[in-house]
Amino acid sequence: MQKNIRYVMRYKHLLKRAGYVFLLIFSMAVHAKVEILDRISVVVDEDVILQSELNERIQMIKDSLLAEKKPLPPEDMLHSQIIERMIVESLQIQVAERAGVRVSDEELNDAMTRVAAQNNMNLLQFRKAVEADGMSYEGMREQIKREMMISHVQRGMMRNRIKITEQEVKNFLDSEMGAMLTADEYRFGHILLPLSSNPSSSEVRQVKKKADDLLKRINQGADFHSMAVQHSSGQNALKGGDLGWRKAAQLPTLFSGIANEMQPGEVRGPVKTGSGFHLIKLLERRGAQAQGQIAQTQVRHILVQPSEIRSIEEARDLAHTLRQEIVDGADFGEIARLHSDDPGSALSGGDLGWNQAGTFVPEFEAVMHASLPHHISDVFQTEHGFHFLEVTGRRIEDFSEEFRMSQAENYIFRQKFDEEVDNWIREMREEAFVEIRH
């Protein structure tokens, strides 16, 4: 008995002239039957758009418009708009592929998870919901991958095309818009203990005492959020008094006057106004002034590592011995040059320079931040071996101006981005070979 062997061949890049993708069925009797499986709808440079891909996209757009209860445009207009969109996508994907742009499975999974979360679902629930709506989850996954590749290649191309001068940045920062956009933002907590419209002196004393008692409890460790829910009459009481992120200009007068003076976590009050007594807490602060102030620590250390000829116990003992020599008066730098196993710092007497949080392994940072300046720490262990250290200085480095410049440059870049992307796409479209087949 003869068996038929079926081969499905979809030549997306090789069948520009043929115009069809064939289903070939070959039998052992050397006869063949040819069936049209798909056809090429558009040729775009080195790529093709198949009729099935176009149909799928048209249906997806229709489903989306119907789900949002928006009217469908005329069929011919919708058809031409989608073809043009797919041509532009294809051109950008081809640039991305030539540039070696890749989207890893991990990146794609993260993106799909975010899309699911935006719909208040986990990934499995989202997949079931997509398929229940009659859509292809794998098709959606592939489309998101294409959009990510396009996003990557757009950003890469725009970095080369968009040039921002230092004068542009300065002019923007000097403008009213620039000052507003780069101003710090504050997130305050608020508790209001109200007064009646014409309070007696007795009422004022009672409410003031309650406010003082609340402040005392908060300063002793009571949770501000819980106190606001229980005692505040403010509009945001059920949110724990959280006013959300606001620029100084958007804050009530009560807050704006002191916002710049307060440190995150600080509580002030009671402050009396016509509406009552207020307790305010600066929960968080962000922006150039807040994030540009970088705490730095200057530190030096000595490292002793176990090795093939030095056991863990011997390495620990040597570290203790070296530390004791320094405590007894030996020069830290000289001991480091002679004995430290950290080649990067030994020649400079163990000096690691000025560093900010996040530079070193957690165990090292914990000891560094807990150490008093010019005090030799105890010996401690990290993945690198046994250390002891000395903090030789602490400072706050002001990078707020650089931060503001960076904020301004990013804003100007975003302003120019869409227009320059449109210019780039128009140039590609004009230069591309495109053949639309009907």
d(CA 38, CA 18): 11
Query: Domain segments of the chain: what residues?
Result: 1-73, 184-286, 293-398
Do 184-286 and 293-398 come out as alike in CATH topology? yes
Q: What are phi and psi of 247, to 5 degrees?
A: -70, 160
Tell me the per-residue pLDDT of 87-98, one tens digit each, with 9 for 90 and over.
999 999 999 999
Q: Which fold has domain 293-398?
A: Chitinase A; domain 3 (3.10.50)
Give which of 21, 72, 85 is closest to 51, Cα–Cα. Answer: 21
The CATH classification number of 184-286 equals 3.10.50.40
Decide if 167 contacts 175 (C-beta within 8 A).
Answer: no
Q: Which residue bears the tokens 């540009």?
A: 292
Residue 3: pLDDT band by 50, 70, 90 thresholds? Answer: very low
Q: What is the pTM of this model?
A: 0.56
Model confidence at 19: pLDDT above 70: no
Model confidence at 423: pLDDT above 90: yes
Tell me the per-residue pLDDT of 275-317, one tens digit each, with 9 for 90 and over.
999 999 999 988 766 666 778 899 999 999 998 899 999 999 9
